[in-house]
Amino acid sequence: MPSDKKVAFITGANRGIGLETAKQLGEKGVTVVLAARKLSDAEHAAAKLKAAGVDAYPVKLDVTSAEDRAAAAKYIEKTFGKLDILINNAGVASSHGFTPVTIETSDEELQSVFQTNLFAVLAVTRELLPLLKKSPAGRIVNLSSILGSNTLHADPNSPIYNFKSFAYDASKSALNAFTIHLAHELKDTPIKVNSAHPGWVKTEMGGDAAPMEIPDGAKTSVDLALLGPDGPNGRFIHMGQELPW
């Protein structure tokens, strides 16, 4: 069903920031494809948005599964013929939580966190890039974190100086490197690639102590997904402000 409507694909979209991002984009007239590890979760989330008037579609996607990634790409190509927006929202925290464990971080912990937060993002993007190239103005948003900022982690006066979780932080720093490199690779195309820091948000990962509500946590992703031709590219953004790498 090719049309002129923008189509957005959002990973980890069955709850939290991902679901709210889909909701806000849908309210702006974007067709949203909600991906979740369980098809039933994606279907439930899509049904909620459809009931609110959003053009929403569910897709099963475990981002670490090559089979799921290929199937999702085939579904988008068959159903829409192109993709305008990719939001790599799915991510995991360290099993240690946000505790200062560095040298004792196990290989297994690093591999597990990097598998979802970096390698799967690269794989999903690689699978969907041919469809993004069919869009007149493709947008890729990588959900990072201020905890991925090496500049701020090294500054004793920064607000995150004492909030260190090596596996998670390093995975987001590496994700930021992917953003920079992909933006450079695509600089002569209409596609823009940016990292988004949603903020410290009241989600399952963020916890109840977080100062931001979920609707505000989705705003940066939505803004970057709908950037005009003069918008930033290869940048690290929170609420319209650039963050240091």
- HEC string of 68-135 equals HHHHHHHHHHHHCCCCCEEEECCCCCCCCCCCCCCCCCCHHHHHHHHHHHHHHHHHHHHHHHHHHCCC
| 34-63: average pLDDT | 98
| 198-224: average pLDDT | 74
| 174-182: average pLDDT | 98
pLDDT at 201: 60
| 160-177: average pLDDT | 95
Kindly tell me if the per-residue pLDDT of 211 is higher than 50.
no
| 193-209: average pLDDT | 73
Query: Is position 6 annotated as part of the catalytic site?
Result: no
Residue 160 φ/ψ, nearest 5 degrees: -105, 5
Helix (H, G, I), strand (E, B) or coil at 202: coil
Query: Is position 168 annotated as part of the catalytic site?
Result: yes
| 177-195: average pLDDT | 98
| 132-159: average pLDDT | 97
| 180-189: average pLDDT | 98
What's this model's pTM, rounded to 2 decimal places?
Answer: 0.94
Domain boundaries defined on the chain:
7-242
Which of 23, 60, 82, 172 is catalytic? The answer is 172
Which of 6, 23, 57, 168 is catalytic? The answer is 168
Class of domain 7-242: alpha beta
d(CA 42, CA 39): 5
Tell me the sheet residues that pair with 142.
Answer: 88, 195
Helix (H, G, I), strand (E, B) or coil at 142: strand
**More confident site: 78 or 200:** 78
**More confident site: 163 or 142:** 142
**If phi over 0 gives left and psi between -120 and 50 gives alpha, with beta otherwise, what is residue 29?**
left
d(CA 191, CA 207): 34
d(CA 106, CA 206): 23
